[in-house]
Amino acid sequence: MRPTYLSHWLFWAALVVAACSASQNGPGPAQNGASGAGAGGAGSGATPGSGSGSAVGSGSMATGSSSGFVDEPASGVTRGAASGSVGGDAAGGAVSDASSSDATAVMTTSDGGASADGAGPASDGGASGHRTGKSAGCGLPPSGAVVAKFTNHRISIPPCAVCTIPNCPQNCIAPPFVPGAVSAQTAPNGENFVNRDFAIELPADYDPTVAYPVYYGADGCSAAPPPEHGPGFTPGGVTGAIQVGLQQINGCFADGGVQCASVQNVAQCVNSPELPYFLAVRDWVEANFCVDRSKEFLGGLSSGAWLAYTLGCATGDSLRGFVSVAGGKREHRWPCDGAAVAALMVASEFDTTNPVGPLAMLDTGLDSYGSAPARDDVLARNGCVGTATAPFDPKFPVCLKYTGCPEAYPVVWCELPIPSHAVTGYNNVNYASAMWPFLTGLPPLP
């Protein structure tokens, strides 16, 4: 039987050490990584333990190395405020290429416009329910990002004009999260949920006429204030893709700590600010660069894994697949859009910070019954039949693939028999190495 989860106050007391720092892979105390979430730290930055694989620090890259960053003014589209019921993100304006002198992009697009290279319109409603086609940025010069360096950009998402939880739209920040409100967060540099940053790097030999995959990385909690330049959680080996680092406010994503793991405010998180933020970043990337909209992926660790589960539900039509380390299913979250999404999930069997579960009672501090319910939620949404499994890949012996899932929407579960939180190494195997091949090996959308 798995041990019960930590109490709410102990969870927060241990947040920086257990949830937001690199954890030792195996029994024993957490170890801080050699590199943090700063400008392009190299390597995984954690000390492997007991002969195990590399630990993954939740404030640093998972594997590989990161380039430095360059501040650039953001340009692109304007995302307007709107009110109404939860729904699509078409309530914006037309794409523009206006630059902002204060390095702030205010985002608004409507989906489904013709691609810039004349290849035909992008689609928001294919047979699979996924967005497909080339993005509007195809054919444009690559202004706002460079190869081999992450450039940092400020983005503004407007407060919602008029709305009441749970009926706020997706393209604006709900009233509880705007500056001065009950669930607002402000970083030391002034960033908040309506004014925050992200980072982007182009693949080598970027060609604006070629549609590229996009990998969005979401790290675990970090003590470093924004802007946290760089890729976010990256499983290693990400090549041939536009890479985007999603950034946090005050240490964690709002769906992986901070307000949306706070019992007194949790009901507000059915309109969490992280969905409008992600959609605004996605729209900016698609408006400025050539994106294959059927190949957009998300990877998250710890706080970023909670985000991956929530976004994989709320905007599954944006994501072909996601990968996660730890995290779980919030009971208060944006409604699912109904789209299936491929997933490879890594969890630690005896993780007391983010229990696997399913817990017999709701962990009110986490607003969750565990990470296994998050997996089961994906299985149900993907239309998987039964719970039979088979080995996924002999190189990753712990991982099991659910055999009753549609070929286009596989679900892989890797439960490491260890107590550590947010690590990917076990018995000299780094399970993060399975993630990028899994995502890029997915078959075309049906």
pLDDT in tens, 197-247: 999 999 999 999 999 999 999 999 876 666 667 889 999 889 999 999 999
Model confidence at 5: pLDDT above 90: no
Identify the pLDDT of residue 87.
32
pLDDT in tens, 123-162: 565 556 899 999 999 999 998 999 989 999 999 999 999 9
The domain in which residue 407 lies consists of 198-440
DSSP-assigned letter for residue 169: -
Q: Give how far the C-alpha of residue 291 lies from the chain's centroid of Cα atoms, to the nearest Å.
A: 18
- Number of domains the chain contains: 1
364 confidence band (pLDDT: 50, 70, 90): confident
Identify the pLDDT of residue 251.
82
Read off the pLDDT of each residue in 238-264 and give the average, rounded to a whole number: 82
188 confidence band (pLDDT: 50, 70, 90): confident
pTM summary value: 0.77
Rounded to the nearest 5 degrees, what angle is found at the Cα of 82, between the Cα atoms of 249 and 274? 25
Identify the pLDDT of residue 264.
73
Model confidence at 165: pLDDT above 80: yes
72 contacts: CB under 8 Å, gap ≥ 6? 103, 144, 145, 146, 151, 152, 153
Q: Is residue 176 part of a domain?
A: no
Give the CATH number for residue 429: 3.40.50.1820
Higher per-residue confidence, 436 vs 187: 436
φ, ψ of residue 87 to 5 degrees: the values are: -175, -150
Q: Is residue 208 part of a domain?
A: yes
Q: Is residue 259 part of a domain?
A: yes
Q: Is residue 123 part of a domain?
A: no
DSSP-assigned letter for residue 393: E
Q: Which of 63-72, 73-82, 88-97 has the lowest mean pLDDT?
A: 88-97
Q: Is residue 335 part of a domain?
A: yes
pLDDT in tens, 79-126: 333 333 333 333 332 223 333 323 334 443 333 333 333 334 465 655
Three-state SS at 83: coil
Q: Is residue 232 part of a domain?
A: yes
DSSP letter string, 220-271 = ---SSPSP--S-SS--S---SSEEEEE--BTTB-TTSSGGGG-TTTGGGGGG
